[in-house]
Each structure stands twice: as structure tokens, then as C-alpha cells.
Amino acid sequence: MNLLAKLRLFSAAIRLEHTLFALPFAYVGMFLGAGGLPTLSQFIWISVAMVGARTVAMTANRLVHAKEDASNPRTAARHLPAGLLRRRDMLAAMLISMGVFVFAASQLNTLALILSPLVVAVLFLYTYAKYFTWGSHFVLGWADAIAPAGAWIGVTGTLDPQAVVLSLAVASWVAGFDIIYACMDYDFDKGYGIRSVPQRFGIAAALRWAKVMHLITSASLLAVGIWMDLGLFYYVGWAIASAAMIYQNSLVKPGDLSKAQKAALQLNPYVAVLLLVTTSLAVFT
């Protein structure tokens, strides 16, 4: 297999396109922290750090969970269980991505570099969290919430309270959708011993948890807008994003999870990009 073909397989294996879940929020944190445009160097290294961190998280996830992926009919066709990629390829990519992330952090400022090992630890914590706690969704949420907080630190060298509230919005947003996603694996998780909110409390209760998480998301985004006096464009984005979350939660019901994939994954990149666009308009106009 040539290098280009392997890179294509690797990109598909880690769902590189799903970087759009967190990257827009990193840019939101970057623009808000800078109060406008960051330097070109900051923009480049924040982008590199984001891609590196997400690649670390996904490669670690694929490596650690390869055994249950092979046992789960929904995931058996993934690249490692199917033999399309080798474990050593995924391990090499993880180590390289880790080095890229830490180096990118070092190019931003001292605080970003000091915190980079902690970020890597959180990314690995999520990978193992589902083995010992049903709260693994919240660990994933906070792992993704590093994006806006990290970008804010990247441009300011500090972690301000507004960034923490913005990170809470991302953490609850991701946790809510991960709970919906876990509903699809309810039977498998129960038999295999994987811990999750649906496995612990049942699907009906889990869907209520998801709604509460997204209510927190909406409230946190609104709080950021009011706190930072972001203006009309931001509130338009907030209103559309809140409506989108209401719609997405309406797609799934305890007795009908046929649209869970759409609710949990497919619409989210559009919501993230929308919030980036409207926040940018609020900051730059």
C-alpha cells in the first residue's frame, strides 16, 4: 500500500472531518480572547495544536477500543478491526501527533506549554473512562472543551472566567450528543460491560439527560454573549443553535433511535460553523 492510500485510510479511520466539531469553537475562543484578530503565528499554531490534539484522542480511542469495536456489529467494519490498518501504524500516528501538539503549544506561550501534558492526560482519560464510570460522556465533553479554553490561553497567556463559561457550553454540548450516541449501543454496552448514562439509567432517562445538557449549553452561550456584550449577530447565532439542539433532541425517542446518528453527529458541524460565523461577525463589525 502506498503512502497516499494509507493516509486516506487513516483520515477515514479517525474521522478527520469531525474536527469540525471542536475547531470552530477553538476559533471562537481565539477571536474572543484576542478581542479581534490574533497574530498569524497564533492562528497557525492554534490550528496545528487542535488537529494534533484531536488526532491523539482519536488514535488512542481506536487503539484502546479495537477489541470491542471488533465485537460490536456497528463498529466491526472500522479500519483496525477490519485489518485495513495495523496497530503499529495507528500507534506511530498517535505518537507523532502528540509531539506535534506539544510543539505547537510551545510556540504559543509558556502557560500553553505547561498545560499541554495535562491536555494529553485528559485525552487519554476519556479513552479509558467508559471502563470505570458512566460519566465518561462528561469526560469527553471536557476534553473537547479544551478547544476554546486552549485557544483563549494561546492568544492571552491566561484563562479568564469568560473562557471557562464558553468551555462549559462546549462540554455540555458534546456530552449531550455523546449520551444520544451511546443510546445506539445500549444492548452491546450492557453485555460487554461498557459504562454509560444509557447503560446506567436506561434510554428514556438518558435522553432527558441529553436535553438538560443542551439546556446548559444554551444558557452558557447566552451568558457569554451578555457578559462580553457581543451584540445582535451573536444572539442570532445563539438562537439558531438553540433551536437546532431542540430539533436534534426531538429526533430521538426511547422507542425510536433510527435518527440517533443524525441527531448525535451529522448536524453538529453546521451548528459549530454557524456559531463561529456569527461570533466573528459580532467581534469584527
Mean pLDDT value of segment 191-202: 86
In whole angstroms, what is the distance from residue 138 CA to residue 115 CA? Answer: 20
Q: What is the b/e burial string over 215-238, where b = at least 16 CB atoms within 10 angstroms of the residue's CB?
A: bbbbebbbebbeebebeebbbebb
Query: Is the Cβ–Cβ distance between 189 and 217 less than 8 Å?
Result: no
Among 93, 187, 198, residue whose Cα is nearest residue 136: 198
The DSSP letter of residue 84 is S
- Read off the pLDDT of residues 121-150 as tens digits, 9 standing for 90 and up: 998 888 888 888 999 999 999 999 999 999
On whether the CB atoms of residues 16 and 43 are closer than 8 A, the answer is no
- d(CA 72, CA 229) in angstroms, rounded, equals 48
Do the Cβ atoms of 236 and 284 come closer than 8 Å? Answer: no
Share of the chain above pLDDT 70, in %: 85
Task: Report phi then psi at 184, rounded to 5.
Answer: -65, -25
C-alpha span between 169 and 185 (Å, rounded): 25
Query: What contacts 23, CB < 8 A, 6 or more positions away?
Result: 47, 50, 51, 147, 272
Question: Residue 12: is its pLDDT beyond 60?
Answer: no
3-state secondary structure at position 256: strand
Over residues 245-252, mean pLDDT:
91
Q: What are phi and psi of 191, to 5 degrees?
A: -80, -30
Domain boundaries, the chain: 16-284
User: How many Å apart are CA 84 and CA 70, to the nearest integer?
Assistant: 13
Cα–Cα distance for residue pair 74/184, rounded to 1 Å: 9
Give one DSSP letter per residue of 44-76, joined into a string. HHHHHHHHHHHHHHHHHHHHHTHHHHHHSTTTT
C-alpha span between 112 and 107 (Å, rounded) = 9
Q: How confident is the model at residue 60 (pLDDT cuts 50, 70, 90)?
A: confident
Q: How would DSSP label each residue in 218-272?
A: HHHHHHHHHHTT--HHHHHHHHHHHHHHHHHHHT-BTTB-TTHHIIIIITHHHHH
Quickly tell me which residue has 503565528 as its cell.
Answer: 41
Rounded Cα–Cα distance for residues 203 and 197 (Å): 8
Q: Tell me how many degrees the CA angle 47-14-71 measures, rounded to the nearest 5.
A: 155
83 pLDDT more than 60: no
Domain 16-284 indexed as CATH 1.20.1560.10: no
Q: According to the per-residue pLDDT averaged within each range, which of 16-20, 89-93, 233-237 is highest?
A: 233-237
In this prediction, residue 238 carries a pLDDT of 97
| pLDDT at residue 66 in the model | 64
| CA 91 – CA 131 distance, rounded (Å) | 21
Q: Which residues contact 109 (CB under 8 A, 6 or more apart)?
A: 153, 154, 157
Contact call for residues 24 and 273 (beta carbons, < 8 A): yes
Cα-Cα-Cα-Cα dihedral sign, residues 40, 45, 48, 50: negative
pLDDT at 232: 95
